[in-house]
Structure 1
Amino acid sequence: MRTRAPLATAALAALLATTTTLAGCGSGSPPSPPSGVDQLVVPTPDPDADDFVEVVDNPWFPLLPGTRWEYDVPRATTETLVVEVAAGPEVAGVATTDLVRTSADGTVVRDHYAQDTAGNVWWFGREGEWTAGVDGAEAGLAMPADPRRGDGFVTGRSTSGDEVATVERLDGGAVVPQGEFDDTVELEVRDAAGLTRREVYARGVGLVLVGETALVDLTRPE
């Protein structure tokens, strides 16, 4: 992913796709328009493997091996969702890390991510649905290294269209069964079908709340 002219549009990859981080600033910080993030081209048509690192340790979107998240999904036919980290495939020449979601009925969804040298996390595709570099699909920004209130970005571009996220809050909090979090980033995400959802990410944890789906258990690597 080469740095070039100011970025085009805006968005974030949804962790809980089938049902589905960053130095914060205070509420007094001025919002920036949803038109770009730090001169990145988003989505990126030509990622460069030299621009990426092996470990995804963005504080709001950490994908460290051995981490396990469990979510309660209200009013779903399968009420629990387990999310784990695994090695991913090489996509568009970039080694990725997979976020693997397993529903109670055994349905598995794998999303491919990679972090660049500046700390931004990019979404490179979803197994069986779309892959960056194939049929016009392009990697989008899953979580910037330094989000600002009002920032917007394309999280991924596929044949279905763009998914777009906007940073709504940096100084909020969330109370979920796992606990209370007061250092969070809140995003509003609009998918390719035009549907929107609210996602809340906690520092050092990752996604804790999306809609009414909430984190109930967290296992960290030893």
Structure 2
Amino acid sequence: MLQSTNPFTSQVWAEIPDASAEDAAAAVAAANRTFREVWRDTPGVRRAEMMLKLATLIESQADRMSCIESTDNGKIVRETRPQMLWVGRQLRYFAGYADKLFGQHVPLDQPNTLDYLSLEPFGVVALITAWNSPLALLANKLAPALAAGNCVVVKPSEHASASTLEFAALVEEAGFPPGVFNVVTGGAETGRALVENLFLQLHAHRLDMPASK
């Protein structure tokens, strides 16, 4: 376990799991399974509904969440509370895109040929955030990833992970399927294991793709 020390009192106030390489692999596997079985086929309208509900939840709990983040990283509440509202703003903004990511018909000079562009989610993405503004920085990455139909694995800074773990509970309350949002906490080794597992997943996915003709 990792200990979180309140920078103002110098007292340990929380303990954070120190995820192993196996934990990181399990998180990636869970995200990939949910992406393939549930999330990539979830309509954009439904993704938007969950994102908007999550925005409402974080906005309604801005005071509590800002206190958690300030206790964890030492920033004053005068800064962290507006950042909680920024999280809601980002979620609302990108929720507006979730049901508008259309394909495109490409006009050609050959009347008997159809050319079109299809927008597809990437799959599973890693979101690594810094200690100074954990949730605000997370929102900048998370909101567009969810809107586009991706699942995520988040690795917050080992120096400020508490607010991200609390945010995970709000994601669950908002109705997101298990595996869409995953958190692994720990230091550099945890982050390295996360990235390595994502590369392995991407390589395996490419091997599964049919050969081009």
TM-score by length of 1: 0.27
Q: Which has the higher strand share?
A: 1
Higher RCO (CA-CA < 8 Å; seq separation 6+): 2
Larger radius of gyration: 2
